[in-house]
Amino acid sequence: MFTGLVEDLGTVAALDATPDGVRLTVHTRLAGELGPGDSIAVNGVCLTAVDIAPDAFTADVMQETLRRSSLGEAAPGRPV
């Protein structure tokens, strides 16, 4: 459960189009603490980690979420 604590400021590494939205890759020092299926809040949106690397994670973001949140304005290099 998300506690509301901000533990890190990540950076958008990539946004790759999918049929249902985008696959978002975020560089963060917290990636090593995540496992596939873990929840992580990004700009107030609860996302599910799909793939994990030592310094980044990816999550699928649906079109509706992109329309209704600030993630719709995400771009590579931007902080999240």
CATH code, 33 = 2.40.30.20
Tell me if 30 is assigned to some domain.
yes
Residue 80 lies in a domain: no
The pLDDT of residue 3 is 60
Can you give the pLDDT at residue 7? 81
Residue 76 falls inside a structural domain: no
**What pTM was computed for the model?**
0.90
Could you tell me if 23 and 60 are in contact, meaning their C-beta atoms sit under 8 angstroms apart?
yes
User: What is the per-residue pLDDT across 3-62, written as a single tens digit (0 to 9) for each?
Assistant: 667 788 999 999 999 999 999 999 999 999 999 999 999 998 999 999 999 999 999 999
State the amino acid at position 3 in one-letter form.
T
Domain with 61 in it: 11-69
Please check the confidence at residue 1 and state whether its pLDDT lies above 70: no
The predicted pLDDT at position 8 comes to: 85
Going from the C-alpha of 76 to that of each of 1, 40, 45, 49, the distances in angstroms are 27, 19, 18, 18
Answer whether residue 74 shows pLDDT above 60.
yes
Give residue 2's pLDDT band: very low, low, confident or very high (50, 70, 90).
Answer: low
Number of domains in the chain: 1
